[in-house]
């Protein structure tokens, strides 16, 4: 959606910038775990209208406990979990952890882009179950010294403990993604070059880690004189990029940065459309998501009142429907449903719930804009609405390329 003539909305309903809808190939299997210049009409039926159509009940947040967690000054300790997040999202992550198991997790804000907790929440498949964290690992040791050589020696000893008896490991040395910590990137690079690796283990590349899995050792330079060291199995890691900064590099002339969001979503899920599979892209203009789907050789129906980038229109596998996503019904069930609409998140969720109820698609990847302050509560509500329609295995994450938004994936059971 262009900024000119964009309708005004109250703070909790602001659609934000244009809706848009990124590599790997896999057929859509059950997941283990936008809108154009003219806004779509407001839903008129309870089928995809009022939030009261669901049975969601809010879990109240203990505001006093939350404020204590945000103001604590207790230092990081070995045995705790260290989480990185988007700068400014620390409150969201602390609240999310606090709503899981407040007594067991004991979350607290460490600083900009950093949160700590006593334990880590996991889903039924053993994966880390958090939305607002980019990366997380259990701290096996701390290295602290103002002398660079001593810091490297202490970090090397902690690294040996983190690697354990793993014969092969990948290593990420990074700094928190914050204004204050980013200048320490050069020091983190020097620390990595000065490390001594365990003699029994071989360091592997990130590319091999993504292909074959393995152990991921991590060192976060929390401050100039303090490094937290730990690790996790690749298949259970939140991200396979250092600190969760998944900077997606795409070749070709893609229409918008939204393509990077979808590319990162595919990397996160470990699956993407295969050649010839059918996709619907809701809120498609100017075509960032559709472009990437076409790069995967998929067949795409792009739905948006606004125009697509002209160079996409010559592709025989693309069909553009200039209509509101709320009015569109696919001519037949499709393999994949994609949605990146700059519209009220609950109304979008109700519409997507109807897609599952009517079995219009098998797998969904959607991006929800969250301009409101209580993001954690909204994510819970969105998941409840989608589950009421029949979506299963719902997973949510604020990816690196997401801003005031989250990416959600699910499948029809």
pLDDT in tens, 251-263: 777 767 899 999 9
Assign 45 a pLDDT band (cuts: 50, 70, 90).
Answer: very low
| Average pLDDT for 62-74 | 68
Q: Is the pLDDT of residue 94 over 50?
A: yes
- Give the pLDDT band of residue 64 (cuts 50, 70, 90): confident
| Token pair of 197 as six digits | 């690796």
Per-residue DSSP letters for 335-384?
EEEEEE--S-HHHHHHHHHHHHHTT-EEEEEEEEE--SS-HHHHHHHHHH
Pick the catalytic residue: 249, 369, 375, 392?
369
184-207 b/e with 16+ CB inside 10 Å = b? beebbeebbeeeeebeebeebeee
Q: Is 392 considered catalytic here? A: no
pLDDT digits (tens, 9 = 90+) for 326-336: 999 999 999 99
Least confident of 77-81, 103-107, 191-195: 103-107
What are the structural domains of the chain? 11-57+247-412 (3.40.50.150), 63-244 (3.30.2130.30)
Distance of alpha carbon 85 from alpha carbon 117, whole angstroms: 13
């Amino acid at each position: 959606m262009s900024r000119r003539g964009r309708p005004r909305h109250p703070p909790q309903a602001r659609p934000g910038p244009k809706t848009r809808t990124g590599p790997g190939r896999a057929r859509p299997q059950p997941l283990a775990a936008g809108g154009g210049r003219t806004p779509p009409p407001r839903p008129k039926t309870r089928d995809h209208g009022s939030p009261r159509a669901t049975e969601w009940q809010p879990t109240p947040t203990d505001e006093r406990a939350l404020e204590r967690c945000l103001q604590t000054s207790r230092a990081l300790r070995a045995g705790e979990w260290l989480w990185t997040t988007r700068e400014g999202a620390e409150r969201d992550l602390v609240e999310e952890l606090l709503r899981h198991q407040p007594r067991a997790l004991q979350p607290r804000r460490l600083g900009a882009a950093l949160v700590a907790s006593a334990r880590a929440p996991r889903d039924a498949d053993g994966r880390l179950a958090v939305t607002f964290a980019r990366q997380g690992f259990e701290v096996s040791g701390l290295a602290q010294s103002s002398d660079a050589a001593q810091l490297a020696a202490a970090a090397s000893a902690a690294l040996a403990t983190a690697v354990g008896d793993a014969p092969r490991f990948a290593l990420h040395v990074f700094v928190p993604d914050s204004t204050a910590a980013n200048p320490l990137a050069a020091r983190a690079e020097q620390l990595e070059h000065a490390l001594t690796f365990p003699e029994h283990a071989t360091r592997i590349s990130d590319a091999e880690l993504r292909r074959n899995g393995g152990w991921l050792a991590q060192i976060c330079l929390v401050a100039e004189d303090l490094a937290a060291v730990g690790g996790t199995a690749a298949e259970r890691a939140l991200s396979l990029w250092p600190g969760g900064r998944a900077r997606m590099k795409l070749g070709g002339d893609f229409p918008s940065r939204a393509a990077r969001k979808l590319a990162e979503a595919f990397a996160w899920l470990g699956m993407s459309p295969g050649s010839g599979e059918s996709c619907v892209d809701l809120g498609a203009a100017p075509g960032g998501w559709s472009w990437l789907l076409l790069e995967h050789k998929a067949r795409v129906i792009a739905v948006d009142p606004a125009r697509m980038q002209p160079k996409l229109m010559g592709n025989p596998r693309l069909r553009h429907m200039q209509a509101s996503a709320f009015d569109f019904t696919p001519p037949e069930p499709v393999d994949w449903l994609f949605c990146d609409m700059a519209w009220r998140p609950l109304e979008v969720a109700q519409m997507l719930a109807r897609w599952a109820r009517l079995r219009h698609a098998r797998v969904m990847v959607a991006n929800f804009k969250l301009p409101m302050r209580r993001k954690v509560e909204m994510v819970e509500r969105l998941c409840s609405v989608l589950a009421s329609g029949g979506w299963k295995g719902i997973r949510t994450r604020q990816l690196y390329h997401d801003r005031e938004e989250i990416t959600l994936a699910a499948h029809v059971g």
